[in-house]
Amino acid sequence: MGQDLVRDISSLDLTDRVTIDQPIDRQSCVDLKKTTAARICVGKAGTRLKTETYLRFRADHAVAMDAVWSEVDEKVVDQLGFLKVQSLCKNKDEYITRPDLGRRFSDETLKTISENCRHDIDVQIIAGDGLSSPAITSNLPDIYPMLMDGLKEKGYTVGDPIFVKFARVATMDRISETLNAKITMILIGERPGLATGESLSAYMAYESSTKKPESQRTVVSNIHKNGLPPVEAGAQIISIIEAMMEAKTSGIDLKL
């Protein structure tokens, strides 16, 4: 009996796990499950979910909650040489309830950024915890070196990397204005779902500014090991940056 116990139900690979009782075509169910992370072919116990399905749902929901409330392991950003700063949010509670504060910095922080980072560069890379700290911890060590190598190979000047604690996407605008970067990019944790709590997004804008609408941002999302792999995402981002440089625009005005 002990061998049948599952210590961590979230570790189960559900790709080919069909829990419908006596399915008519099991292989079709398996093939379908391989195309999506949705909870399909799970069967029922009467009118309710089966115990295993329900427990997995609760476990995945817990992962999503942890992703929001946890914090980035600062050793990761330290090892990659990121300058660490913080938005106006004082803690995670304020970050969740006051999105406006997550978009802004104190004058002292902007001064720190200005004094410690290069100005007038082609590309400025920022990392921010956003709504998923594990997204940074899991993906930044793979995607950042790829981006640096690719951008330098293309001949672009790259600014000093900045990590923003309690970051919203719009923090990129104020950093761009401070450093006068042609293209500013923020790698930020996405709002977690039940499929993964480690998904990263890369928002990019040409001459990013607080005066420009959000439609001027271009985004590559769903970056994680079971989505768009970090290294592949890095190559895609570099191609987009090339297009931005050539067109001198971004967002809805950029034709890819």
Could you report the per-residue pLDDT of 223-237, keeping only the tens digit for each? 998 889 999 999 999
**223: helix, strand or coil:** strand
Beta bridge partners of 44: 49
Q: Locate tokens 């290294």: which residue?
A: 231
Sign of the C-alpha dihedral computed for residues 240, 177, 214 and 88 taken in this order: positive
In the prediction, which pLDDT does 1 show? 47
Total-model pTM: 0.83
**162: helix, strand or coil:** strand
Residues 118 and 79: their CA atoms lie apart, in Å, by 19
Cβ contacts of 137 within 8 Å, gap of 6 or more:
72, 73, 76
**Mutual angle of helices 133-153 and 51-69, in 10-degree steps:** 60
Q: Which domains does the chain have, with CATH numbers?
A: 2-69 (1.10.30.40), 74-253 (3.40.50.11240)
In the prediction, which pLDDT does 56 show? 80
| Annotated binding residue 169 | yes
Q: Locate tokens 């990121």: which residue?
A: 82
| Annotated binding residue 94 | no
> 15-60, pLDDT tens digit by residue?
778 888 888 888 888 888 888 778 888 888 888 888 888 788 777 7
Q: Locate tokens 């399909």: which residue?
A: 40
The stretches in the chain having pLDDT less than 50 are 1
